[in-house]
A and B are shown apart, each in its own frame.
Chain A
Amino acid sequence: DAGVTQSPTHLIKTRGQHVTLRCSPISGHKSVSWYQQVLGQGPQFIFQYYEKEERGRGNFPDRFSARQFPNYSSELNVNALLLGDSALYLCASSLGLLTDTQYFGPGTRLTVL
């Protein structure tokens, strides 16, 4: 079975640009969470989506937004990129909202110049 997939693998953008990151959860999983992992730190929770609705948001500015599609895949959008947005963006999926196990994808490495 395929695990969580993310695209693209790597991305280079310049300050002020916009970026869209994509995630496909494990088949049958309906919940998707997004995390930001800055080099040398642990993942930080950004968003959780379940059944196309936002179910949680971490301490990130409004430049960050996300959505979930009917097939449960998800997009993370970041506007007006800053140098500090350079990080590994991880997507994790879980069966549902009331579950204790999440599975991570390989991440998208975003570099902002």
Chain B
Amino acid sequence: QQQVKQSPQSLIVQKGGISIINCAYENTAFDYFPWYQQFPGKGPALLIAIRPDVSEKKEGRFTISFNKSAKQFSLHIMDSQPGDSATYFCAASKSTNAGKSTFGDGTTLTVKP
């Protein structure tokens, strides 16, 4: 059972553009929603995370928007750069234990120069 659905599967953006990746979750017990960035041959690295008590969190060029009623959250990458080209995963877990996270299937982002 897919508890976290991620879209799109792949995304191509021009340098300087905005990249938007969306996720939807089913389990209302989830209260911690991180985004991970993964480069080929590497493990996922935590990028930014949000809890449902806020609707938006921004760190540099990366912003998470969260809609609790719709059970959706999204990652916005502003001023996208070629170095941002990677696979991005959303995840969900209980904040008391991120060690049992449920992941989306990933979005491969390509930023063209």
B100 near A100 with CB under 8 A, answer: no
Interface residue stretch chosen among A13-21, A36-44, A64-72: A36-44
With A90-B44, A101-B46, A104-B43: A56-B89 Cβ-Cβ less than 8 Å:
no
Whether, in the assembled complex, A78 has its beta carbon less than 8 Å from a beta carbon of chain B, the answer is: no
Pick from B43, B45, B99: contact of A107, CB below 8 A: B43
A102 near B42 with CB under 8 A, answer: no
B43 near A102 with CB under 8 A, answer: no
Interface residues of A in 39-95 (CB under 8 A from B): 40-45, 48, 50, 55-56, 58, 90, 92, 94
Report the number of A-B residue pairs with Cβ-Cβ less than 8 Å: 75
Give the size category of B's interface with A. 20 to 34
Whether, in the assembled complex, B103 has its beta carbon less than 8 Å from a beta carbon of chain A, the answer is: yes
Which residues of B have CB within 8 Å of A104? 36, 43-45
- A44 shortest CB reach to chain B, Å: 7
Number of chain A residues whose Cβ lies closer than 8 Å to a Cβ of chain B: 30
Whether, in the assembled complex, B6 has its beta carbon less than 8 Å from a beta carbon of chain A, the answer is: yes
Residue numbers of B with Cβ under 8 A of A are 4, 6, 32, 34, 36, 41-46, 49, 89, 91, 93, 95-106
Q: List 10 A-B contacts (CB under 8 A).
A: A31-B99, A42-B4, A48-B100, A56-B100, A98-B96, A99-B99, A100-B95, A101-B34, A102-B98, A102-B101
Besides A42-B4, A50-B99, 8 new A-B residue pairs in contact (Cβ under 8 A), listed by A number: A35-B103, A43-B101, A43-B103, A45-B101, A99-B97, A100-B95, A105-B43, A106-B41
